[in-house]
Structure 1
Amino acid sequence: MSAGWISKTKVGKAGEALTSPLSSSEDRAAALAVVNYWREIHAEVLQRALEDIEGLIAVDSEVLVAGRIKKLSTIVDKLGRADAPFDLQTMYDIAGCRLVVPDLEALERVYSEIADLPAFDAPKTGRHDYIAHPRPSGYRGRHAILHYCDLVCNHKLFVEVQLRTVLQHAWATSVEMHDVAVKSRLKFNEIDNPAGRFFKKAALLVAQLEERGEINAGAIRDLADGRPELPCAIEAVKTLKAANDAVYFLPDDANEDVADYYLVDLIADEQTLELTPLDSIAALSRYFEEEGADRDGERDLVLTKGSSKEKLAKLYPNYFGDISDFVKLIEKNLDAFA
């Protein structure tokens, strides 16, 4: 479908059709083709954003950078939430870049460089400072929105850039791993439960370490409203350790150090991981094909761009089963959760 052109109005209606219980199977099939067209043309803007960002931070080897095209299942889920964007065409993170930096000082430096890019969209970025205003779950980081107009597809498209410190990233990926392990939705702020309260306190612990260099256990305990929740913290750590110790397998065809794209394919219930290098021509069609084959929703598929296998493991530790540093941090400070 990439050879044609589809209006944003039609894209918006396709998003509605995918989430409406009244849509027929024919409606859904037509809508899926439009949505995949929309995702496909975001490959161009993702490439532009990565080139701009890497041009700024090329000399800084401590900054990890990768990009991804948003999963179809995540798009459908997001459109169905109460806080959903107006429609698919106003979802600014179809293409996304992730940057992981050593600390808050580096984060602010890199953010200021990104803010000087011609593509930086200040009005749309303003509400995405999740360090000054953390999400209800405790998530912290800074997001920036870039926009590009002079594209082959003749649309104005956006890219969301996530900036996280190493500790913020460890917290966020631990949440994702916990969600996969127990089928929870903490990442989406469904946090009125013991695990949600644990991670919110863990987020405050991380913030204290980064901002002050020390931990105020009393302030962390205060988040429990007087409820002793050490057993909940121990249970969450147990879940994370079990997930972290799971066995994953990389296939023989993932021997290249760097590829245009990598298709990450996690089947959590089977504890297997496949990592397939793909060139830019085959990447999107293979990604959409594999998504379509996953009729039971058992696979967690991510198409990433702009990173080596080594960096990919650091950027997506929830897929590679390595959140040991976060677990050690919590175990060292369990008294703060008593």
Structure 2
Amino acid sequence: MSGTRISKTKVGKAGKALTSPLSSSQERTDALAIVNYWREIHAEALQRALGDIEGLGSVGSDVLVAGRIKKLSTIVDKLERPSTPSDLQTMYDIAGCRLVVPDMRALDRVYDGLSALAAFDLAKTSRHDYISHPRSSGYRGKHVILRYDDLECGHRLFVEVQLRTELQHAWATAVEMHDVAVKTRLKFNEIDNPAGRFFRKAALLIAQIEQRGEVDTRAIRSLSEGRLELSAAVGAVDALEAACDAVCLLSDDLSGCASDYYLVDFVAEEQTLELTRLDSMDALATYFEAEGADNDGGRDLVLTRGASYERLAKLYPNYFGDISNFVGLVKRHLDAFA
């Protein structure tokens, strides 16, 4: 279907059909084909974005860069959220890049470089400054939206670039790992619980360290309105450490370069991680096939490009079982959660 141009109207209808309980089996099958077409053509926009980013003088060897096509399960989850309704044809993060920088100074430097790109979309980007305006969960970072109007597919497509410091990234991946290990949904703002309040405090702790260089325990404690979260902090750390210790890496072919695609296949129940290096010709087909074979939803599949194995481990530490920097930071400042 990739050689056929499908209108955005049909893409939007396919997104609705895929998530509607009233859709027939055939309607779901037809809708899935269109949704996967939409994901597939975003690979061209992702390729362009990675090329633009890699050409920036502000993106040096201290910046980790990777790109991915949004998982089908995450697209469906986003379409089904009642609090934040979304349409598939206007979803700006089907293709996404992740940039992890050492600190706030480097983040500002890279952001300035991204803002000078011809593809930089100021109007959409201005809504996504989660450092000046953190999300209710505590998430911080800056997201840049790149727009490409001259693609071979004939559509105007967008790429979301997530820009985070190492500590902001450590917090975000700790949230993802906690969600998998404890079956929470903190990443999707279901945060009115002890774990959610703990991670909000941890996010403020990181912001204080990065922006002021010192910790204000009184301000951190005030986030819970008198409720003590020390037990939640200890419980979260214990769960994260147990999850890290259990990860088993299955792959044996790990020699690759930054231009390779990797299929990340993480099975939470078994705590196994398998990496498969793919060439660009069959990467998307293999990715979609693996998703289709995941009948019980037990596999966490990510197709990513633009990172060697070593950088992949730093960009996705939740899969590799290494968030020691976040755990160590919390342990050093446990008094802030008391």
Common fold by TM > 0.5: yes
**Partner in structure 1 of residue 336 of structure 2:** 336
Offset at residue 259 of structure 1 (A): 5.0
Cα distance change on mapping 1:57 and 1:314 into 2, 3 Å: farther
SS class of match (2:269): helix
**Partner in structure 1 of residue 190 of structure 2:** 190
**Partner in structure 1 of residue 228 of structure 2:** 228
**Partner in structure 1 of residue 81 of structure 2:** 81
1:45, 1:95 within 8 Å by CA — same for their partners in 2?
Answer: yes
Percent identity of paired positions between Structure 1 and Structure 2: 72
1:57, 1:63 within 8 Å by CA — same for their partners in 2?
Answer: no
Residue segments in structure 1 that go unaligned for 5+ positions in a row: none
**Partner in structure 2 of residue 307 of structure 1:** 307
Offset at residue 207 of structure 1 (A): 0.2
Separation of aligned partners in 1, 2:103 and 2:125: 21
1:259, 1:277 within 8 Å by CA — same for their partners in 2?
Answer: no
1:22 aligned onto 2:22: yes
1:262 aligned onto 2:262: yes
1:85, 1:91 within 8 Å by CA — same for their partners in 2?
Answer: no
Could you report, residue by residue, the CA deviation over 1:74-132 in whole angstroms, capped at 9, with x for unpaired residues? Answer: 00000011243541010000000000001111101100110110000011111100000
Separation of aligned partners in 1, 2:66 and 2:259: 12
Instruction: Single out whichever of 246-255 and 84-93 deviates more from structure 2.
Output: 246-255
Alignment of 1:123-162 (within 5 A): 123-162=123-162
Could you report, residue by residue, the CA deviation over 1:214-267 in whole angstroms, capped at 9, with x for unpaired residues? Answer: 111111111111112211111111111111111321322333345520000000
Separation of aligned partners in 1, 2:95 and 2:299: 20
Separation of aligned partners in 2, 1:174 and 1:59: 25
**Partner in structure 2 of residue 170 of structure 1:** 170
SS class of match (2:77): helix
Cα distance change on mapping 1:57 and 1:169 into 2, 3 Å: farther
Give TM-score, length-normalised by structure 2.
0.98
Cα distance change on mapping 1:220 and 1:301 into 2, 3 Å: same
1:118 aligned onto 2:118: yes
Could you report, residue by residue, the CA deviation over 1:132-167 in whole angstroms, capped at 9, with x for unpaired residues? Answer: 000010000000100001111000000000000000
Cα distance change on mapping 1:235 and 1:113 into 2, 3 Å: same
**Partner in structure 1 of residue 206 of structure 2:** 206
Alignment of 1:43-122 (within 5 A): 43-57=43-57, 60-122=60-122
Cα distance change on mapping 1:227 and 1:59 into 2, 3 Å: closer
Offset at residue 268 of structure 1 (A): 1.0
SS class of match (1:252): coil
Separation of aligned partners in 1, 2:27 and 2:175: 35
1:186, 1:196 within 8 Å by CA — same for their partners in 2?
Answer: yes
Separation of aligned partners in 2, 1:73 and 1:334: 35
Cα distance change on mapping 1:57 and 1:239 into 2, 3 Å: farther
Q: Which amino acid aligns with 2:18?
A: L
SS class of match (2:162): strand
Q: Report the aligned-residue RMSD.
A: 1.1
Instruction: Single out whichever of 276-285 and 224-233 deviates more from structure 2.
Output: 224-233
Separation of aligned partners in 1, 2:154 and 2:169: 35
SS class of match (1:270): coil
Separation of aligned partners in 2, 1:78 and 1:136: 17
Give TM-score, length-normalised by structure 1.
0.98
SS class of match (1:152): coil
Separation of aligned partners in 2, 1:57 and 1:264: 29
Residue segments in structure 2 that go unaligned for 5+ positions in a row: none
Q: Which amino acid aligns with 1:276?
A: T
Cα distance change on mapping 1:59 and 1:156 into 2, 3 Å: closer
Q: Which amino acid aligns with 1:48?
A: R
Offset at residue 187 of structure 1 (A): 0.4
